[in-house]
Amino acid sequence: MPELPEVETTRRGIEPHLLGQRVSRVLLRERRLRWPIPEDLDVRLSGQRIEAVERRAKYLLIKAESGTLIAHLGMSGSLRLVPLGTPAARHEHVDIELESGLALRYTDPRRFGALLWSQEPLAHELLARLGPEPLGGSFDGERLYELSRGRSLAVKPFIMDNAVVVGVGNIYASEALFAAGIDPRREAGSISRARYLRLGEEIKRILAYAIERGGTTLRDFVGGDGQPGYFQQELFVYGRGGEFCKTCGSTLREVKLGQRASVYCPRCQR
C-alpha cells in the first residue's frame, strides 16, 4: 500500500502540472472503487480551475474553485500525467483532462482507492478525526509518551494508529523502531520518555528521507512522474525476515503484530 512518502511524492510530482490549470472534462471508465465515484464528478469539476494540491495523511486534496477532490490510492493506485488522447490500458479508470493538453490519470488494479468530492474536505468523515502530521510542529516524541501511558498495546501498532499520528504505516514504523532501538513487541506504556523522544525524531527523519528518495517501490507504486521510488534499497528491517542485520549481523526475526508482519533485530532492539 502506498504510504505517506509515496503519497507526498505523488503530490509533488503532479502539483506543478495542475496548479492554475482548468479542467476541460472528466472521463470516467469505471466508477466502482472502494466507494463509488460520484456520477456527477464531470459536472462538478469540468470548467473549474485547480487552486491547490495538498495532502492530509494519505489523502490527496485537489482543490478546485467550488470544491475539493479527495483522492486515496488504496492498495495499488497511482496518479500520473499523460498526454491527452493516450490510450487507456486496463485498470486506468479515470482521466481528468486539462486545458494544457495533459490528463491526470487514475489507475487502480485492485479498485480499493477512492475519488470523492467534498465542499469541506477536512471535515469529511475520513479526515475529521485524524491525528497530527508526523512532519509538522504538533507531533513529537512527547506526544507519543503522553498518549502511551497505561497502554498495553504493542508499540508498533500504537504508532501506526492514525489518531496518534498519521502516515506512519507498516514500512516506516518498522524502520523507525529499528533506528530508535525499540523492540516492536514492547508494550507502548512501558517505554520511557527519553526513548519516545528519540523515536519521534527517527519517525520524522526517516519519513523526510524517504520522501527525498521518492518513496519505496513495493509492487505497483510509481510516483506522479511515472518513476519508481528508491527507499526500498535502503530498508534495514522491513521485508527482511531471516536475513542478517546490517548493523550487528544477527538474524532478523519476523512476528505478527496487529495482523501485520513485523521484522526486528533481537540484538539491536530491546
Binding-site residues for DNA sit at 91, 110, 151
What is the Cα–Cα distance from 153 to 69, expressed in whole angstroms?
A: 35
Length of the chain: 270
Catalytic residue among 11, 58, 80, 156: 58
**Rg value, the chain, Cα:** 20
User: Active site includes 5?
Assistant: no
| Grid cell for residue 21 | 490549470
Number of neighbouring beta carbons within 10 Å of residue 83:
8
User: Active site includes 2?
Assistant: yes
Binding-site residue positions = 91, 110, 151
3-state secondary structure of 56: strand
Closest CA to 24 of 97, 76, 107: 97
From residue 265, give the alpha-carbon distance in Å to each of 39, 148, 160, 242.
50, 23, 19, 10
- DSSP code, position 122: G
User: Active site includes 260?
Assistant: yes
Catalytic residue among 111, 185, 260, 267: 260
Find cell 522491513 and name the residue: 238
Element (H, E) at 267: none
Catalytic residues: 2-3, 58, 260
